[in-house]
Every structure is written in C-alpha cells, then in structure tokens.
Amino acid sequence: MPNGAHSLQIVQVVPLVRVRSLANRVFDYLVPQEFEGSVQVGALVRVPLGRQVIRGVVVDLGPSQPLPPEELRPIAAVLSDRVPEELVSLAKAIADRFLATLASCLQLVVPPGERVWREGASRVRRFWVMPVTDMLQGETGIRLTKKQKAVVGAVPPEGMPLKEACAVAGVGPAVVRTLVKKGLLELTVQPDQIGTEAQITLQYSTAAAEPSSAWPSLYPEQEEAVCSLLNAYEEPGYSHRLLWGVTGSGKTEIYLHLIARALSEGAGAILLVPEIALTPQIIERVRSRFGAQVGVLHSALSPSQRLREYRRICRGEARIVVGARSAVFAPVRDLRLIIIDESHDQSYKQEEEPRYHAKTVAELRLAARGGLLLEGSATPPVETLVRDTKPVRLSQRASGSQPACEVVDMRRQGGAGLLAPLTRAALAEVLRRQEQAIVLLNRRGYAGYVHCERCGHVMVCQDCELSLTYHISVGQLLCHHCGRSYLEPAVCPSCHEAPLVRSAPGTERLDRELRDLVPLERVFRLDSDVVTSGARVQRVLEDFARSRPGVLVGTQMVAKGHDFPAVTLVVVADADTGLYVPDFRAAERTFQLLTQVAGRAGRANLPGRVLVQTWNPDAPCIRMALARDEAAFYKTELDLRRRLGYPPFAELVRLVAAAKDPRRAEAGARYLVERLGRHLGPTEIRGPARLPSLKGVARWQVIVAARDGSRARRLVGWIVRGLEDAYRQRGVSLTVDVDPQSFL
C-alpha cells in the first residue's frame, strides 16, 4: 500500500495534552488506507497537532463536525496497545462528573507505558534528591565546600526535585552528585510523575506464589456476612454494600470469599487498598490464596513491571487486581466486583487534576456494566452511612478482644512533658513485660510552630503564609508545603525583645522524650521524614515487629492496618491535633483516627490498653471515640451536617482562583461569585474567602454547596469554561474540585 494514501474513514481523537484549552477538545482525523477499518474506539494513535506529533486516543468513529475530508490531516501512526472501549466511556464519565479535561481522564486509562505527557515536559521532575537522614543527625566529620553546604542546607528531609535543589543552592548537578558519592544525599527517581499516590515506593517481586488451599473456616458472624454479600453479588445490575466491621474482625477474609465466587464464575475483581507500602501483608494474603491470577498495580512498580502487569490483566491472565487508588482503572476482564478496603481513607481522592475519587469511579464503572461495589471499614465515611441504611456488621474480633480506652486529661497532669506520668508508667510496664507499644502523634518535626511569647509573632513561610516547623535533625525551620528552609533566629524578628518558643511538639520531639524511658535501639519512628521510601517503611515495620520490647512512634502512618500481635499499649500523645483545622470533616477524621489506632492494640491473645491524651476530653468526637459510641457519633455528625448544609445533605464544588497578584485573585473569585449568583441561591454559595498564599501565589476560595449536585456541577462547568481563557490572560488560574476532601 503506497504511503500517504488515505481512506475516507474519519475518527475523533483526543490528543493527550496538558494545555487546558486543548485538553477538552476532540479533533477529526483521516485514517490512512493501510489502517482502514482496523481503527476502533480506544485505539492509541499519534496525530499531528500544530507543528507537533502527539499521542492520542480515538474516542469515536465518524466526524464530529461537517468538514470536507481535504481539510483533515491523517493519523501518523497507530500503536499496538489499545484502551478497552469500556474504559474510554469511563474516562468520559469521569471528565463529566469531576469537571476535568477529557485528556487528563484518558491519561488514567491508557496503558502505563503511554503515561508520559508529551506536553510540558519540563514539569516532569524525574530525579529526586534527599538527605541520608542518619548522616545529618550527627556531626559527620566530612568537610564540605561552600557550594556543597548550600546544597545540604537547601534539601529538606523529605527531599526535593534535583532541578529545584540546584536552583535553590545556585549550583550545578555535579555538586549534588559529589554529595551523593560522599553518602550525604540520596538520588532517586521520583516514583510517579502523574499521581502523588505513591510518594512512598515499594518494590515487589511480581513472581507469583503457589496458591494455598488453607482457607480458615469462618466464624458464624463472618459466615452470615458472606452469605448476605453473596446475595448482593447475585443481584442483577449494580449494587452497593458496606461491610462495617471493627478493626480485626476479619473483613479481609470476607473479601477473599467474594473474590473466590467471582473467579469461580469466570468474572474478575478489583481490591483497592489505601497505601500499599503501609500494608504489604494484604497483597501476600491475596496472592497466597489465588496465586498467579493476582495482578498488582501501583505506581511504585517500575514502568516495565507495570506494563507487564497491565498486559497480564488485559490478556485475562490476572483476573484479580490489588492496588491503590489508580487500580480502579485496571482493564480487568468481565469485571463484576470492586472492593474498597478502609473506604474512609483519604488516599482514595486524587488531589491533582483530574481530582477524582476512586469510590465514585468504581460506582460509575459498575453502574455501566453491573456488579457489586463493596466498601469495607471500621469507621465508614459519614456519607456512606446515609446511602447504605443496612450495612453488614461485624462486631466481634477474630482474635483478641476490644481494648479498653482511657482518657488522660492533660489539664490535670502536672509537668511540661509531652507524656503524662500515667502514660510513662504504662510504657514502662510494657517494657518490663517485654511487650510492644505504639505511640501516635500526628505532627511531624520537632515543633509545629515557633513563636514569640512576648509579641505573639509566629514564624511563617515567606512564600506560603503557613507556619514553619522546627526540625531538630537539620536544625532549621521548614515549610511543609514548599520545602523552603529558614534559620531559626535567636530573637523574635518582630519585637527583637524575646527569644522564640517552640510549640506544638511533633514526632521528632516525642522520639527524644522517649529516650530516657526506652533504650534507643527499642524506639522505631515512622513518619515521612524518616521513611522516604517504601523499602524504608518496610524495614522500620519489620525491625519493630522483631523487637521485644519495642515502641513504634509516628504520625497517622502508625494507625493504618498493621497487625502486630505483641502490641498491648496504644498511646495517642495528642488527640487534639486534628480538631481545629478548618474542615467540616475535622471531627470525623479525629473520630476515625482514634478508632483506627485503638484497633492496633490487643490483636492477639494479650489484652490491649489505649491511652488517649487530650486537652479536650469533652470534645464530642473524642468522648464518643473513647466510649466506642458509634451510633451517637454518626447521629451527632449527621444532625450537624444537615443543619449546616454539608455532605451528604449537599454536594460540594470547591473553586480556587489563584494569581501572583492578590488583587487579581480576589477579583477573580468575586466575579465568579457574581456569575454563580445569577443561577444559585445565596445559601448555595460560600465565600469568597481568602486562603493562605502558597509558593508566593495568592488564593481565594468559593464553595458551591448544592442539594442538586448534578445541576450545580453542570452550571459550574459551564461558567468556568466560559471564564477560563479570560482569567488566564489576566494571570488568574481557576481550579475546580468536585467533592473536595481537602480545603487547604
């Protein structure tokens, strides 16, 4: 066939570009004769766009508009992988539901090898540099040049992109590489350039274990749950259920039974888990039952591993997929079951374009093809409880009993320490008995803020208007948003009269405070400052598991689904950290965190004890979490939300206007309110409100809270599309977040 000959077949293609003005557009192309008839919906192609050739996805056959074929350009190439048609429809549905661009949603469903944006390549930050923490803690005796010192000073504990490190320190990459050779810095490839889901990476062998036949017999309560859920599975069409079971009640066992049923009739299943790095056991559990039929998909896999798993799934070799958020897009054959474990977990929402929630995606996907969506949690989201009036309950633990919870009222505890005398005594007792304890403090660093006691001045980031955290490991104040570091001034920079005080103690401080009580080698710390990779997470967890006695200290990472049989004491060092954040879910999150972390105690034969230190023992969410009064908590919360018009009684869309020039950001938000106000009632629009600037960008927020969510979304989508270009020309960017989970 001569090159350049074109058939008259026309297809509609969405080029995978990031530029918003193009990312929502569909272009018509001619199919070259050699491919005539073989180009289907879902085909991956390369197409000319302007002066470039760009990857794209065929989303429809036939022209989208009546243009004569002479004016159309031909497709440049057709690639071998393709996207199943079902997933093309899903991408369209997500773009519609979350007001995201079609190109960004298609990026979620294209084969992994294709996941690199052609546009904006400079935004792809590949190399990530971070300190080797142990080194920075001691005096290392290594002499550094001025340039090298600048780099070491610039890199925060959590690391930063190589390019940025060089820019901040004003050096070339060679300086960084020298420091890597000296063992002071570590250079890694940033795991995922699109999603932030796996900032923590973990390498798994994809070699499959032999499936074992060891299925424990179910307890009566589990038996009943499986029975009822299998009935739901058999229902024709789409169904949704909630499995509400206390921590350790054997929910995973029930998932495995449902998956086995799906497999037995030739169907496929997806099991979503929050953060794979924190709960690697679950993969092993599923693998040990189903062997090579299990595919594992998460962004910590190397690109080639990922592609290999993807193809195994496409070919139907792997019919079960276990993975984090993005695994909800896995091209599983004959999908009939999606299970979302720990469905309250915040990692199910993607906090960047496209801002989808995996649960909604699962709903859309199964609603289109039929199947069961099962959410499992010990602390279900308030929103789920309203929809699902008859959850399947598990109230007994498979082994061990529910630990006793005690409040430690910090107002009555003398001394300035972070741990009350009662708590210290309990820890000492655990050590004496050679058992283990977990201490949760949901704040990183040494001091959450540093302020002047005389004039009240608080040290904030000059770019972000967020309070700076003191990190003793680097001896500097760090901005947790942008990573910028500052020297701690000796006196208050505002009144010049008093020294600064370090308040709001974090895990670094707790770690130190424990040193006089617990031998150094018995304390294990788990937070994103010390564990910058999945391998390190695993090492810390394994070391802790082996250490008896042992104390695991950390942020909410320690509250995830770990199963350590020797843990008999759980301490919440400060239950109040999440109480006063400006978020209507603050109480819910506190309740969930306390309930989850309490569930880590007494999981085996040993009895568990939970100590909750708080300055607010009367805060309803703390009181009810301690009393395990779920009914009261959910009732209070629902009443409040009904009164204030929050989800589930309204659907939210969050709009943020951002600009370097604060007046433009404000004007952008005000005009948005005016435009929305022509169609929505006054109670449906909240704001505009000023938010803290981030990285030198001023931000104003408008929240739409509407009973009729689909009408509100349509309206917002229409208004934003109309304003976007004009705003951009004035230097104002608009972000739209449907069903927002975070309001920072």
Contact residues: Zn ion, CB under 5 A? 461, 463-464, 479, 481-482, 484
Is the four-CA dihedral 438, 440, 444, 448 of positive or negative sign? negative
Q: Which is nearer to Zn ion, 461 or 712 (CB)?
A: 461
Tell me how far, at minimum, the Cβ of 713 lies from Zn ion, in Å: 32
The binder of 250, among ligand ADP, Zn ion, none, by C-beta within 5 to 8 A per type, is ligand ADP
Nearest to 561 by CA among 382, 350, 347, 363: 347
DSSP three-state, residue 661: coil
Instruction: Select the span of 125-133, 241-249, 269-277, 542-550 touching ligand ADP (CB under 6 A).
Output: 241-249
Q: Which is nearer to ligand ADP, 249 or 528 (CB)?
A: 249
Indicate whether 584 belongs to the interface with ligand ADP (CB under 6 A).
Answer: no
The binder of 247, among Zn ion, ligand ADP, none, by C-beta within 5 to 8 A per type, is ligand ADP
The binder of 464, among Zn ion, ligand ADP, none, by C-beta within 5 to 8 A per type, is Zn ion
DSSP three-state, residue 195: coil
The binder of 461, among ligand ADP, Zn ion, none, by C-beta within 5 to 8 A per type, is Zn ion
If you search the block for the tokens 């190397």, which residue do you land on? 302
- For the chain, the farthest-separated pair of C-alpha atoms sits apart, in whole angstroms, at 88
Tell me how far, at minimum, the Cβ of 399 lies from ligand ADP, in Å: 5
Q: Which is nearer to ligand ADP, 137 or 399 (CB)?
A: 399
Binder among 56, 131, 159, 250 for ligand ADP (CB under 6 A): 250
Residues between 537 and 566 that touch ligand ADP (CB under 6 A)? 563
C-alpha angle 671-672-675 in degrees, rounded to nearest 5: 85
Nearest to 488 by CA among 511, 471, 503, 509: 471
Indicate whether 249 belongs to the interface with ligand ADP (CB under 6 A).
Answer: yes
The binder of 482, among Zn ion, ligand ADP, none, by C-beta within 5 to 8 A per type, is Zn ion
Tell me how far, at minimum, the Cβ of 438 lies from ligand ADP, in Å: 15
- Asked if 360 and 105 touch (Cβ cutoff 8 Å), the reply is no
Q: Which is nearer to ligand ADP, 557 or 653 (CB)?
A: 557
Q: Which residues pair with 406 in a beta bridge?
A: 611
The binder of 162, among Zn ion, ligand ADP, none, by C-beta within 5 to 8 A per type, is none
- Asked if 592 and 344 touch (Cβ cutoff 8 Å), the reply is yes
Distance of CA 571 to the CA centre of its chain: 25
Does 692 sit behind a cis peptide bond, omega within 30 degrees of 0 on the bond before it?
no
Residues between 203 and 222 that touch ligand ADP (CB under 6 A)? 216, 218-219, 222
Tell me how far, at minimum, the Cβ of 285 lies from ligand ADP, in Å: 8
Q: DSSP alpha helices (H): ranges in 548-688?
A: 586-598, 620-626, 630-644, 662-677
The DSSP bridge pattern shows strands 567-572 and 436-440 to be: parallel
Q: Which is nearer to ligand ADP, 221 or 574 (CB)?
A: 221
Tell me how far, at minimum, the Cβ of 273 lies from ligand ADP, in Å: 10
- Asked if 318 and 352 touch (Cβ cutoff 8 Å), the reply is no
Instruction: Select the span of 240-248, 296-304, 416-424, 569-577 touching ligand ADP (CB under 6 A).
Output: 240-248
Q: Which is nearer to ligand ADP, 372 or 706 (CB)?
A: 372
CA–CA separation, 470 and 460 (whole Å): 11
End-to-end CA distance of the chain: 58
Per DSSP, the residues of 538-602 read HHHHHHHHH-SSEEEEESGGGGSS---TTEEEEEES-TTTTTTSS-TTHHHHHHHHHHHHHTTSS
Q: Which is nearer to ligand ADP, 341 or 529 (CB)?
A: 341
Binder among 28, 197, 253, 275 for ligand ADP (CB under 6 A): 253
The binder of 398, among ligand ADP, Zn ion, none, by C-beta within 5 to 8 A per type, is ligand ADP
Q: Which is nearer to ligand ADP, 136 or 339 (CB)?
A: 339
Tell me how far, at minimum, the Cβ of 394 lies from ligand ADP, in Å: 7
Residues between 356 and 415 that touch ligand ADP (CB under 6 A)? 398-399
Question: Residue 479 burial by CB count (10 A; 0-12/13-18/19+): exposed, middle or buried?
Answer: buried
Indicate whether 248 belongs to the interface with ligand ADP (CB under 6 A).
Answer: yes
Q: H/E element holding 273?
A: none
Question: Residue 494 burial by CB count (10 A; 0-12/13-18/19+): exposed, middle or buried?
Answer: middle
Tell me how far, at minimum, the Cβ of 129 lies from Zn ion, in Å: 18
C-alpha torsion 103→105→110→114, nearest 10: 50
Tell me how far, at minimum, the Cβ of 159 lies from ligand ADP, in Å: 32
Indicate whether 506 belongs to the interface with ligand ADP (CB under 6 A).
Answer: no
DSSP state of 460: B
CA–CA separation, 598 and 612 (whole Å): 9
* Interface residues toward ligand ADP, by CB under 6 A: 216, 218-219, 222, 245, 247-253, 398-399, 563
